[in-house]
A and B are shown apart, each in its own frame.
Chain A
Amino acid sequence: MAVEQVEPLACGRDAADVWEHAEAGTLDEHELSCPHCRSARADHDRLGGLVTRMAAEPLRPPPSVLEQVLGAVVAELRPHELLALGPDAWLGRPTAEAALRHVVDSMGGLRARHCRIEQHGPVGDGPVPVWVRMTVTARFGVDLASVTARVRQMVISAGEGTLGVPIAGVDIHVEDLWDDAAEVRR
């Protein structure tokens, strides 16, 4: 018998099955009367209450763990993740992406997921145009055609007005819909 498998009890029953039946309260007639099965059931009963207590114990990590993780994460951010605003001016790309996601989030009925800003071309006197790829989810029932047009308009406006980079193009991909009622039920 492979070592991974569960050895049967002397009565032939699978010991793990008996344990699971005891757990679910679905022991059959044989399992209730057979001494071998009753012994397996007693093992289950022996641990049951203690396991429940152990599972209920509140164990939480100290705040310092997450603080150190985020410190390490920020330290690892790659310095080349920058957008050129001009010959001597740069903007962190994740910051710019977060700003554009915020624009979408604030519209109502939409949430931004991925936002990718790509910038190509040599740095000249002025900012190099960027291309924005945005993945969004929408509330069920919104007019997707008009809302994506509005997203494009607002992203272009925010890019040029807030970030200071001209937007060469915006790709918008609606990849999911959500239902407020379903979220409330969750």
Chain B
Amino acid sequence: MQATDPAPQRGPRSGGPASAAPRVPGSAVPGSARSELDEQTLVARAQDGDVHSFAELARRHQDALFRVAVRVLGQRADAEDALQEALIDAWRRIGTFRGDAAFSTWMYRIVTNRCTAVIRRKRPTVPLPDDDAPGAMLDAGSGSPERAAEVDAELAALSRALADLPGEQRTCWVLRELEGLGYAEIAHITGASETAVRGRLHRARTALAERMRAWR
């Protein structure tokens, strides 16, 4: 539905002084409850330059994006950098988001591209620090301390095995096994065909299973 007033008289656009820096947009405005807004509305507002709507989007997606980055890169520090760069990139490019895929898919694509760039720059050689070791924060044992320690060690071994996979296999495996995405969505994120995604995922699975045989 379109409701339009008569067209105004329009002249050349007036320019403002380049030295006048704006405040944070919307900071003086009593905020609507952004946490209750639907994602499409937040995206539309962020596309208009509303920083607070973008911040809400970032808040909603940052945990999932960070999980992917940590698992693909194998290090928290690199993952924090990749997430930060991806979110800034998303802000710069949000005007290009057309909604033909889910916003989360679009964000996954940006963060995995960042991770790929990091992997190309340097191959991760240091495993996750001890306090971040997989399972460290879980009630892994739900039984004896020995069993809990064993599960932690198994998860650390799986993390190391994951870090040894080629980057594209690692990304497909993380998106499928840890994030639960479908082949079509992973193909969209990685820019590969669904057949390629299926092949990479299977090679990753069999390589990891092979590496973990020693633990049984």
Binding site for B on A (CB under 8 A): 2-6, 15-16, 19, 43-44, 46-47, 50-51, 53-62, 65-66, 68-70, 72-74, 76-77, 79-84, 90, 92-95, 97-99, 101-102, 105-106, 111-116, 118-123, 128-129, 131, 135, 137, 144, 148-149, 152, 168-174, 176, 178, 183
With contact pairs A58-B137, A171-B4, A174-B1 given, residues A97 and B88 touching in the complex (Cβ less than 8 Å):
no
Task: Report how many residues on chain B are interfacial, defined by Cβ distance under 8 Å.
Answer: 94
B143 within 8 A of A: no
CB of B14 within 8 A of CB of A70, answer no
Per CB-CB distance, the 6 closest pairs between chain A and chain B, nearest first, are: A94-B25, A92-B22, A82-B16, A98-B26, A113-B44, A43-B209
Chain A residue contacts of B192, Cβ below 8 A: 4
Classify the secondary structure of A's interface with B.
mixed
Interface string of B119-132 (1 = CB under 8 A from A): 00000000000001
CB of B15 within 8 A of CB of A80, answer yes
CB of B201 within 8 A of CB of A169, answer no
Q: How far is the CA of A76 from the CA of B4 in the complex (A)?
A: 33
Q: How far is the CA of A94 from the CA of B52 in the complex (A)?
A: 11
Chain B residue contacts of A19, Cβ below 8 A: 202, 205
Q: How far is the CA of A117 from the CA of B82 in the complex (A)?
A: 34
* Contacts beyond the supplied A114-B47, A152-B3: 13 A-B pairs with Cβ under 8 Å: A4-B195, A4-B200, A57-B135, A61-B62, A65-B80, A94-B25, A94-B26, A97-B25, A114-B45, A115-B48, A116-B48, A122-B11, A128-B14
CB of A119 within 8 A of CB of B1, answer no
B96 within 8 A of A: no
CB of A70 within 8 A of CB of B12, answer no
CB of A169 within 8 A of CB of B7, answer yes
With contact pairs A114-B44, A144-B1, A169-B5 given, residues A6 and B177 touching in the complex (Cβ less than 8 Å):
no
CB of A56 within 8 A of CB of B177, answer no
Least CB separation from B20: chain A residue: A90
What is the count of residue pairs linking A and B with beta-carbon distances less than 8 angstroms?
Answer: 248
- Shortest CB-to-CB span from B4 to chain A, Å, is 5
Chain B residue contacts of A131, Cβ below 8 A: 8, 10
Binding site for A on B (CB under 8 A): 1-32, 37-38, 40-41, 44-45, 47-52, 54-55, 58-59, 62-63, 66-67, 70-71, 79-80, 83-84, 87-88, 91-92, 132, 134-135, 137-138, 140, 151, 154-155, 158-159, 177-180, 192-193, 195-196, 198-202, 205-206, 208-210, 212-213, 216
CB of A82 within 8 A of CB of B41, answer no
CB of A72 within 8 A of CB of B88, answer yes
CB of A60 within 8 A of CB of B6, answer no
14 residue pairs of the A-B complex, CB under 8 angstroms, read A16-B199, A16-B201, A43-B205, A50-B155, A53-B138, A81-B49, A84-B16, A101-B45, A101-B50, A114-B47, A122-B12, A135-B44, A148-B1, A173-B2
Chain B residue contacts of A121, Cβ below 8 A: 9-12, 14
Question: B10, B48, B87, B198: which contacts A114 (Cβ < 8 A)?
Answer: B48
